[in-house]
């Protein structure tokens, strides 16, 4: 008589352990690929919006206070000092969604609003911990800024993100960019090798966190109250949240409005706010 086969049994502990291992692998994959899902969009949304790339796996935006004062940091503005609207962006040079907003919204706002004297831009550092070359890139940009070429290096880094982001020795690449921009090689190299701007970068991150920034890109549009009707601004923010899903916030100060746009929204989202300002 053939021996009867014995059924295979799996204990609950083994089953739960296996599930935990699968979930852990999926979480690791999410972190290393920078993917944290898409912003929920309304049925009539036509363009998917990538949220800010976060340094937390379960990031939730804090409750919006009535007012929010935004400092511009210590780096030079792009645009005229007299421009009424201020765009302060917290960004990461290695973040692919920061590159996306640089190529689309930032480029078109620069053409249509910055060059017309309507908007001035400020960049603030927020290198994410899972982007190993983001901090060296931020140091390179600030070292270039010491010689008056911050925005030139900023553009060079984003234009060539795919070249250096996976490099094991990005410093050599950045030093090559510095030479191409006409910077003093010895001065730039000394600044970069000593990581002189590190404390300022850390200060940017700390201040960003105090504003509720948890990922990149995080964009703040600061608009003087006399330049836009609050009803128009509320309408614009409401329409954007209806189209793309909740995420854009409006803060009201005594003298300014602040619009938080947390993610790589397209130019049309920025334009829908900026076009209502009375310049």
**Is residue 8 situated within a structural domain?**
no
pLDDT at 246: 81
Please tell me whether residue 70 adopts helix, strand or coil conformation. coil
Q: What's the CA dihedral at 85, 91, 93, 96 to 10 degrees? A: -100
Is 2's pLDDT higher than 70?
A: no
**Residues 163-169: what's their mean pLDDT?**
95
In a domain, 85, yes or no: yes
Residue 11 dihedral angles phi and psi, to the nearest 5°: -75, 160
In a domain, 212, yes or no: yes
Residue 90, pLDDT above cutoff 50 = yes
65 located within any domain: no
Q: Do 274 and 232 touch, CB atoms closer than 8 A?
A: no
CATH number of the domain enclosing 165: 3.40.30.10
- pLDDT reported for residue 55: 59
How many structural domains does the chain have? 1
Q: Would residue 219 count as lying in a domain?
A: yes
Res 15 pLDDT > 70:
no
Mean pLDDT within 134-160: 98
Q: How confident is the model at residue 99 (pLDDT cuts 50, 70, 90)?
A: very high
Which tokens sit at 197?
A: 């701007």
Cα four-point dihedral sign 219, 223, 225, 231: negative
In-domain check, residue 15: no
Q: How confident is the model over 19-67, as pLDDT tens digits?
A: 344 334 433 433 333 332 223 333 333 334 555 666 543 344 444 447 9
Asked if residues 90 and 56 have their Cβ atoms less than 8 Å apart, the reply is no
Q: Decide if 239 is inside a domain.
A: yes
DSSP string, 143-202: HHHTTT-HHHHHHHHHHTHHHHTT-S-HHHHHHHHHHHTT--HHHHHHHHHTTTTHHHHH
Greater pLDDT, 205 or 11: 205
On average, the pLDDT of the chain sits at 84
Find the mean pLDDT for residues 68-79.
97
Question: Tell me: the pLDDT tens digits for 178-236?
Answer: 999 999 999 999 999 999 999 999 999 999 999 999 899 999 999 999 999 999 999 99
CB 257 within 8 A of CB 251: yes
Is a pLDDT exceeding 60 seen at residue 11?
no
In-domain check, residue 249:
yes
Question: What is the per-residue pLDDT for 53?
Answer: 64
Burial of residue 151 (CB within 10 Å: 0-12, 13-18, 19+) is middle
Domain enclosing residue 133, as ranges: 74-274
The model's pTM: 0.80
């Amino acid at each position: 008589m053939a021996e009867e086969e014995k059924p295979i049994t799996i204990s609950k502990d083994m089953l739960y352990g296996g599930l935990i291992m699968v979930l852990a692998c999926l979480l690791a994959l999410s972190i290393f690929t920078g993917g944290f899902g898409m912003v929920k969009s309304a049925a009539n949304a036509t363009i998917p919006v990538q949220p800010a790339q976060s340094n937390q796996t379960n990031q939730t935006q804090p409750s919006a206070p009535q007012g929010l004062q935004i400092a511009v940091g210590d780096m030079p503005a792009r645009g005229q000092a007299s421009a009424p609207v201020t765009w302060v962006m917290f960004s990461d040079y290695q973040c692919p969604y920061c590159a996306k907003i640089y190529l689309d919204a930032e480029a078109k706002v620069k053409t249509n609003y910055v060059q017309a004297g309507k908007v001035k831009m400020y960049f603030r550092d927020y290198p994410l911990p899972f982007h190993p070359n983001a901090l060296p890139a931020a140091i390179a940009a600030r070292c270039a800024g010491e010689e008056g070429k911050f925005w030139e290096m900023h553009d060079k880094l984003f234009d060539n993100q795919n070249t250096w982001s996976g490099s094991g020795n990005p410093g050599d690449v950045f030093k090559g960019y510095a030479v191409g921009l006409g910077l003093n090689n010895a001065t730039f190299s000394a600044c970069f090798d000593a990581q002189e701007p590190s404390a300022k970068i850390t200060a940017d991150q700390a201040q960003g966190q105090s504003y509720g920034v948890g990922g990149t890109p995080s964009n703040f549009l600061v608009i003087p109250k006399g330049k836009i009707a609050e009803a128009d601004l509320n309408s614009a923010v409401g329409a954007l949240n209806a189209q793309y899903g909740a995420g854009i916030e409006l803060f009201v100060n005594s003298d300014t409005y602040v619009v938080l746009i947390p993610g790589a929204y397209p130019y049309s989202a920025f334009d829908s706010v900026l076009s209502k300002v009375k310049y």
